[in-house]
Amino acid sequence: MEHQLVVVLDFGGQYSHLIARRVRDLGVYCEVKPYTLAPAKLAAMRPVGVILTGGPNSVYLATAPRCTAEVLSLGIPVLGICYGAQLMAYLAGGRVATAPKGEYGRVSLEITAPELPLFAGVEQTSTCWMSHTDSIAEPPPGFAVTAQTANCPCAAMASVERGLYAVQFHPEVQHTDFGNRMLENFLKTVCGCTCDWKMRGYAEQTIAALREKIGEKRVICALSGGVDSTVAAVMVHRAIGRQLTCIFVDHGLLRKDEGDQVEKICKETFQMNFIRVNAQAEFLGKLAGVSDPEQKRRIIGETFIRVFERESKKIGKVGYLVQGTIYPDVIESGAGDSAVIKSHHNVGALPDVVDFEEIIEPLRMLFKDEVRRLGLELGISESLVWRQPFPGPGLAVRILGEITPEKAALLQEADAIFREEIAQAGLDREISQYFAVLTNIRSVGVMGDGRTYDATIALRAVTTSDFMTAEFVPLPYDVLGRVSSRIVNEVPGVNRVVYDVTAKPPATIEWE
């Protein structure tokens, strides 16, 4: 049975991805689409509801991102959030203007129409999260004001007959007391969602769709051995079997013993067509003398493509390339006016000469924790599903400055010690991602009777649900002490270990 769908139209808001997560967590499949999606294409997707996101612009400016008013007349319930609320007012004939006083952070909210389905079970006075300079100065004809704050006379509005609802605040963030209840009310009561979407149904439908799309064509998979690419490969393998060939490129920047482990898992556990390409010399040769992190990523990405192109020609005619791209990669690769954070995931940057008809990304709309749940549904072992995330460029993004074989070997050893101690402390399931970084800092130390001038290793451990934001983990001092002692004593060339206590934002999870 086809699952119900809610579409989130993205207007550049920082919480767009979080809205989608909240909807999925409530049991409804959700996809984020750009605001430029044509109304006809939106209607063809047959969503049961549409959500208009926040954004940093003023809706009345000529350059503001806007969908057409037709979106409000498709007969599909619509919820506008923050900028999306202002846009709904603007498109429906209301007036939006700079507010006499902007609102940011926690604000007391008063519901003036508690009988509305959106506010069922919501206390009449509660706290919401605001972030706006503009506001709805005059609601459109046919809309009633349904909530207010001290500085925002129209904190929510609705046209119940048309199924149009708007809130100036952000119900998707935890700081809004009854935000999740409001979203659930919109989904269940307004949109009529059954809220029964589960990962198993998603897996079955995606595998069936892949089988139909691919047909008899041959496919190659860019297999890194990480969670994302492995789950993507297993999905495609379930769909087409031996038509899939997994190509694993060992670029010399993997974790300790990882290449051998990946080969064993794919050949023995999943019995896939598997090709291992030992290209360490090729990658490290091209990276010699390069210190700029963006240049390193581009060199690795370009070399990856060339290696795949070369290997795929040996296989013969190939129809598709599978990649384990997940939703945070899509967001951080940049779309439209968005900033590019992870260029090595930017599919649009692939060279035109690559001889594939199309790239298949079966995990493109999933977050990391959803990928893990999907992996378990597919029967992949917990040890593999819960394997530590690892970036496509490998240790290249964890070696600051120039990359050399010696630096890579040093970091492999330090990182292995850190992972061993975290596992022995029973913390590996509690931490979303943890790893070591080889900084380009050298400092004076004392070892034995002599002075040293050696490298500094930085340790990083974060907790996150979606990898879009993250908090550092307050690791126990005894664990940090053991890790530091072992690295300094067991890894030649290191005389100092430090721990990173920065959140994302302002930092990213990786260092580079």
Kindly indicate the confidence band of residue 333, based on its pLDDT and cuts at 50, 70 and 90: very low
In this structure, the dihedral spanned by the alpha carbons of residues 428, 433, 437 and 443, taken in order and rounded to 10 degrees, is: -70
Instruction: Give, to the nearest 10 degrees, the angle between helix 368-377 and helix 227-240.
Output: 40
Tell me the C-alpha distance between 391 and 510, whole Å: 9
Least confidently predicted of 93-102, 156-165, 320-329, 496-505: 320-329
pLDDT score of 309: 80
Write out pLDDT tens, residues 220-278.
898 887 889 889 999 999 999 999 999 999 999 999 988 888 888 888 888 899 999 99
Say what the pLDDT of residue 303 is.
92
**Among 408, 428, 409, which Cα is nearest to 418's?**
428
What letters, b where the CB count within 10 A reaches 16 and e where it falls short, cover 16-36? bbbbbbbbbebbbbbbbeebe
- Report pLDDT for 269: 82
What does the pLDDT read at residue 340?
37
Q: Does 481 or 464 have the greater pLDDT score?
A: 481
Q: Which of 382, 236, 224, 225 is nearest to 300 (CA)?
A: 224
pLDDT of res. 449: 66
Angle 476-478-480 (CA atoms, 0-180°, nearest 5)? 70
Spatial strand order of the sheet with 358-360 comes to 273-278, 244-250, 219-223, 320-322, 358-360
Domains, the chain: 5-190 (3.40.50.880), 199-385 (3.40.50.620), 404-499 (3.30.300.10)
Q: Is residue 52 pLDDT above 50, yes or no?
A: yes
263 class by beta-carbon count within 10 Å (0-12 exposed, 13-18 middle, 19+ buried): middle
Instruction: Give 497-502 contacts, CB < 8 A, sequence gap 24+.
Output: 497/456, 497/457, 497/458, 497/459, 498/456, 498/457, 498/458, 498/459, 499/458, 499/459, 499/475, 500/437, 500/458, 500/459, 500/460, 500/472, 501/472, 502/472
**To the nearest whole number, what is the mean pLDDT of the chain?**
89
Those residues with Cβ within 8 angstroms of residue 442's Cβ, 6 or more apart along the chain or in another chain: 453, 454, 455, 456
Distance CA 192, CA 84 (A): 21
Give the Å distances, CA to CA, from 286 to 303, 393, 402.
8, 13, 11
The CA distance from 59 to 66, in Å, is 7
Q: For residue 73, what pLDDT is reported? A: 96
CB 187 within 8 A of CB 6: yes
Q: Cβ(259)–Cβ(277) under 8 Å?
A: no
Task: Give the per-residue pLDDT at 197.
Answer: 86
Q: Cβ of 329: how many Cβ atoms within 10 Å? A: 24
Helix (H), strand (E) at residue 455:
strand 450-463
Q: Which residues are catalytic?
A: 82, 170, 172
pTM beyond 0.75: the answer is no
Q: Are 42 and 71 in contact (CB under 8 A)?
A: yes
- CB-hemisphere CA count at 13 Å for 446? 1
Q: How far apart are CA 307 and CA 395, in angstroms?
A: 19
Is pLDDT above 70 for 349?
no
Q: What is the pLDDT at residue 287? A: 95
Least confident of 239-248, 296-305, 462-471, 499-508: 462-471
Residue-level pLDDT at 332: 52
Mean pLDDT of 208-218: 94
Nearest to 349 by CA among 338, 362, 340: 340
* pLDDT surpasses 90 at 438: yes
